Structure 1
Amino acid sequence: MSKATKFVVDCMQPIRDEIFEISDFHQYLIEHFKVGKNGKAGQLGDDVTIKMEKYSVIIVSKNAFAKRYLKYLAAKFLKKNDLRDYLRIVANAKNSYQLRYYSVDEETEEQE
Structure 2
Amino acid sequence: MVRKGVEAQSSARKAKGVKQQRKITYKYFVDTDIPVKDGIFNLDNFADYVSKKYKVDNKAGNLGDVVTLYKSQNKLHVNTTQKISQRYLKYLTKKYLKKQELRDWLHVVSTPKKRGYELRYFNITQGNDEEAPAAESQ
Aligned match of 1:4: 25
Q: C-alpha separation between the residues in 2 aligned to 1:6 and 1:24?
A: 21
CA offset digits 1:17-75 (Å, max 9, x no partner): 0000000000000000002xx31000100000011123100000000000111100000
Give identity over the alignment, percent.
Answer: 36
TM-score if structure 2 supplies the norm length? 0.73
Alignment partner of 1:34 is 2:55: yes
SS at match of 1:20: coil
SS at match of 1:104: coil
Q: C-alpha separation between the residues in 2 aligned to 1:44 and 1:13?
A: 28
Aligned match of 1:103: 123
Q: In the TM superposition, what is the alpha-carbon distance from 1:8 to its structure 2 partner? A: 1.1
Runs of 4+ aligned residues of structure 1 deviating over 4 Å after TM superposition are none
SS at match of 2:119: strand
Q: In the TM superposition, what is the alpha-carbon distance from 1:96 to its structure 2 partner? A: 1.0
Q: C-alpha separation between the residues in 2 aligned to 1:82 and 1:108?
A: 25
Alpha-carbon RMSD: 1.6
Amino acid at match of 2:99: K
- Structure with higher Rg: it is 2
Aligned residues: 107
Alignment partner of 1:62 is 2:81: yes
Q: C-alpha separation between the residues in 1 aligned to 2:127 and 2:101?
A: 23
Q: Which runs of 5+ in 2 are unaligned?
A: 1-20, 133-138
Alignment partner of 1:81 is 2:100: yes
TM-score if structure 1 supplies the norm length? 0.89
